[in-house]
């Protein structure tokens, strides 16, 4: 008998710590592992091992383990939305909510529920205010983006002037 499960787990944990301290048992990104295995299948283990800076035995171990596990999913490209557009979309939603609240206030007033109608009107006004703030934020974001673009253009122009001056080329050549 090898000992109790607790002692065995402790010994295995200590062995992993020693291996990590010795520079072995590194965690490798699964995508890198699969790229290395794919490269090895295209060329050779020796070639792939040298390209990825790993041992051939490591490739063989990875290949043996890879038979039982599916390849990792490819990373999904995240498309970042234009912030002013997002703000404007939120402002549109707030305006739509305000319109619904005003309609509700009219219906409630028609039923003789003046207090409820007043509450719905206050809610609609709150949504209108939110829509106005979001529109203002969208305009500020656009102005900020324009300022950044202009600053980048000025930096690029300065860089071109500096390069042309350093190689003693007249700037008129570029402008024509």
- Would residue 75 count as lying in a domain? no
Question: Using an 8 Å Cβ cutoff, are 91 and 141 in contact?
Answer: no
The radius of gyration of the chain from alpha carbons, rounded to an integer in Å, stands at 33
- Would residue 61 count as lying in a domain? yes
User: Among 36, 66, 96, where does a domain finish?
Assistant: 66
Residue-range definition of the domain harbouring residue 90: 83-169
Between the CA of residue 51 and those of 4, 31, 127, what are the distances in Å?
A: 44, 15, 59
Same domain assignment for residues 104 and 147: yes
Alpha helices of the chain — where are they, by DSSP H? Answer: 5-21, 30-42, 45-52, 56-66, 83-110, 114-166, 172-175
Residue 53 DSSP label: T
**Predicted local distance difference test score (pLDDT) of residue 1:** 47
- Would residue 158 count as lying in a domain? yes
pLDDT digits (tens, 9 = 90+) for 131-148: 999 999 999 999 999 999
* Residue bearing the bigger pLDDT, 52 or 19: 52
Same domain assignment for residues 39 and 95: no
Same domain assignment for residues 157 and 93: yes
- Would residue 1 count as lying in a domain? no
Same domain assignment for residues 102 and 156: yes
- Would residue 3 count as lying in a domain? no
pLDDT digits (tens, 9 = 90+) for 85-100: 889 999 999 999 999 9
Same domain assignment for residues 50 and 103: no
Coil, helix or strand at residue 168: coil
Same domain assignment for residues 115 and 37: no
pLDDT digits (tens, 9 = 90+) for 50-94: 888 888 898 888 888 888 777 777 666 666 678 888 899 999 999
Same domain assignment for residues 53 and 113: no
**Predicted local distance difference test score (pLDDT) of residue 75:** 66
**Predicted local distance difference test score (pLDDT) of residue 163:** 87
- Would residue 153 count as lying in a domain? yes
CA atoms within 13 A on the CB side of 54: 23
- Would residue 18 count as lying in a domain? no
Q: How many domains does the chain have?
A: 2
- Would residue 146 count as lying in a domain? yes
pLDDT digits (tens, 9 = 90+) for 141-175: 999 999 999 999 999 999 988 888 888 777 665 55
Question: Using an 8 Å Cβ cutoff, are 117 and 105 in contact?
Answer: yes
pLDDT digits (tens, 9 = 90+) for 113-134: 999 999 999 999 999 999 999 9
């Amino acid at each position: 008998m090898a000992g109790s499960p607790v002692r065995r787990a402790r010994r295995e944990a200590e062995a992993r710590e020693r291996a990590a301290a010795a520079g072995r048992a590194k965690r490798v990104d699964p995508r890198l592992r699969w790229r290395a295995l794919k490269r090895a299948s295209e060329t050779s283990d020796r070639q792939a091992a040298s390209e990825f800076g790993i041992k051939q035995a490591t490739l063989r171990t990875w290949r043996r383990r890879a038979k039982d596990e599916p390849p990792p999913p490819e990373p999904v490209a995240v498309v970042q939305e234009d912030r002013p557009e997002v703000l404007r979309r939120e402002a549109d939603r707030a305006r739509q909510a305000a319109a619904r609240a005003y309609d509700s206030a009219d219906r409630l007033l028609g039923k003789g529920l003046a207090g409820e109608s007043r509450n719905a009107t206050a809610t609609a006004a709150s949504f209108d205010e939110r829509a106005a703030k979001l529109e203002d934020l969208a305009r500020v974001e656009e102005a900020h983006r324009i300022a950044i673009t202009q600053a980048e253009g000025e930096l690029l122009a300065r860089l071109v002037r500096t390069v042309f001056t350093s190689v003693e080329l007249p700037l008129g050549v570029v402008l024509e």
